[in-house]
Structure 1
Amino acid sequence: MARVREFDETDALEKAMGLFWQKGYSDTSVRDLVEHTGVAHAGLYTAFGGKRELYQATLDHYNLTYGNMLFGPMEKPDACRAQVEEFFYFILRAVKSETFKNGCMMCNTAVEFGNDTLGNSGSIDVLAVASANVERMTTALENALKRALADGEVRDDLDPVATASFFCTVFYGIAVLSRSKTNPKRIEDTIDMALATLD
């Protein structure tokens, strides 16, 4: 009879995600993960594989948790300007409440790994996950901005594709500023300036 695992995998994944999000991949040791999750090394290995596989699992969990929350509304067929504005103001609220005090985990991943790939050592390429996140964000923004343009909610010469790329860049700048503990008022001013380009 297979032995029943004595821990909640979702809870362990959530705790591991929080630790990786705070410290990054390189600065998080397996011992850190064991202490933070309360799960023995053997238990983590059995459930998720090695450290790299666990990191991949936490990125996927982050995507499901925050990606759907942030991008989902803008991906709907009837998404328009209101969803774009809420996207940014949700981020601002998260910064002020310190939910995003460690920035964006996808942004952190891209910064940490740079041009290196875990795929070179036979593991999953986490940069591909971060790149897919950028693509999803940009596509979601494009979707909402195109509808906003068609509905006359933005200036009639707006380029939805270029603006979506600009807004994605603004988002990642905000993520870095949030992690560096910048005054939230500066982030609020940045968001207001970005949204002003729609008029």
Structure 2
Amino acid sequence: MPRPREFDQELALDKAMELFWSKGYERTSIQDLVDHTGVHRGSLYDTFGDKNQFFLSCLDRFRQKSYQRFKILEEPGEPKELLTRYFDAIIDNALGPDSSRRGCFIANTAMELGAIEPTISTRIEAYSVDIESRFYDFLLQAQKQNKLRGKHTLRELSRFLVTLRSGLYVMAKTAPDRQMLQDSVNVALALL
């Protein structure tokens, strides 16, 4: 009969995700994960598999947790106001003291491993498609309210907003100028 796990798996995932997010995949060792999570090496392997599988679980955890920000776009209100609040929250997060200007976990992973690790690329693509779909649904509602203008399709606008979102996180890592980030958002808001 196997021993019951003596640690909180979600807490261990959160701690590992934070470490991978701060250091990146390549610079994080198994020993770093053991030290940071406080979970013994054998228990980590038994629960999460090897470092790559553990990392994939962390990407999945991030994806699950990151959707909370999209709740802003589901609230009642003027689409332009909701999108403003959404991107204000993104900028706050990207520049805030809790983030240490570390960017977006998914964007960082895409830049570090996206082109060389197929299982990670697949997860990043799924995340991007999911975000695009959420923006699409939001824009569809705005269109039904006659709050969109311009010649772009909903798909084009959705993809633009995905790119803007990722770009804000990337830019905040090296240029923590709120006005510069806000200027980019202002261009996007002009489409509504």
TM over 0.5: yes
Instruction: Rate the CA distance shift 1:58–1:114 in 2: closer, same or farther, 3 A.
Output: closer
Counterpart residue number, 1:89: 88
Instruction: Rate the CA distance shift 1:49–1:179 in 2: closer, same or farther, 3 A.
Output: same
Q: Aligned with 2:147: secondary structure? A: coil
Q: Could you list the per-position Cα deviations for residues 58-93 of structure 1 after superposition, in whole angstroms to 9, with x for gaps in the alignment?
A: 001001111x2133554x598971443332122022
Q: 1:149 aligns with which of 127, 136, 143?
A: 143
Counterpart residue number, 2:188: 194
Counterpart residue number, 2:111: 111
Counterpart residue number, 2:38: 38
In the alignment, the residues of structure 1 paired with residue 152 and residue 121 of structure 2 have an alpha-carbon distance, to the nearest angstrom, of 31
What is the identity, as a one-letter code, of the residue corresponding to 2:63? Answer: N
Q: Could you list the per-position Cα deviations for residues 9-67 of structure 1 after superposition, in whole angstroms to 9, with x for gaps in the alignment?
A: 1111110000001111111111111111111111111111110010011001001111x
Counterpart residue number, 2:163: 169
State the Cα distance separating 1:197 from its structure 2 match: 2.4
1:15-164 equivalence runs, <5 A: 15-66=15-66, 68-72=67-71, 74=73, 81=79, 82-100=81-99, 101-118=101-118, 125-155=119-149, 157-164=151-158
Q: Aligned with 2:44: secondary structure? A: helix
RMSD across aligned C-alpha pairs, in angstroms? 2.2
Sequence identity of aligned pairs in percent?
Answer: 29
Tell me whether 137-146 or 45-54 shows the greater mean CA deviation: 137-146
State the Cα distance separating 1:158 from its structure 2 match: 4.9
**Number of residue pairs the alignment of both structures matches:** 190
Stretches (4+) displaced over 6 A:
77-80
What is the identity, as a one-letter code, of the residue corresponding to 2:158? Answer: A
Counterpart residue number, 2:176: 182
Instruction: For structure 1, list consecutive stretches of 5 or more residues without a partner in the other structure.
Output: 119-124
State the Cα distance separating 1:155 from its structure 2 match: 2.2
TM-score by length of 2: 0.88
What is the identity, as a one-letter code, of the residue corresponding to 2:57? Answer: A
Instruction: For structure 2, list consecutive stretches of 5 or more residues without a partner in the other structure.
Output: none
Q: Is the 8 A contact 2:168 2:181 kept in 1?
A: yes
Q: Is the 8 A contact 1:14 1:58 kept in 2?
A: yes
Q: Could you list the per-position Cα deviations for residues 159-193 of structure 1 after superposition, in whole angstroms to 9, with x for gaps in the alignment?
A: 32211111111111111112225222321222122
Q: Is the 8 A contact 2:113 2:121 kept in 1?
A: yes
What is the identity, as a one-letter code, of the residue corresponding to 1:197? Answer: L
State the Cα distance separating 1:8 from its structure 2 match: 1.5
In the alignment, the residues of structure 1 paired with residue 48 and residue 78 of structure 2 have an alpha-carbon distance, to the nearest angstrom, of 39
Instruction: Rate the CA distance shift 1:132–1:191 in 2: closer, same or farther, 3 A.
Output: same
Instruction: Rate the CA distance shift 1:181–1:3 in 2: closer, same or farther, 3 A.
Output: farther
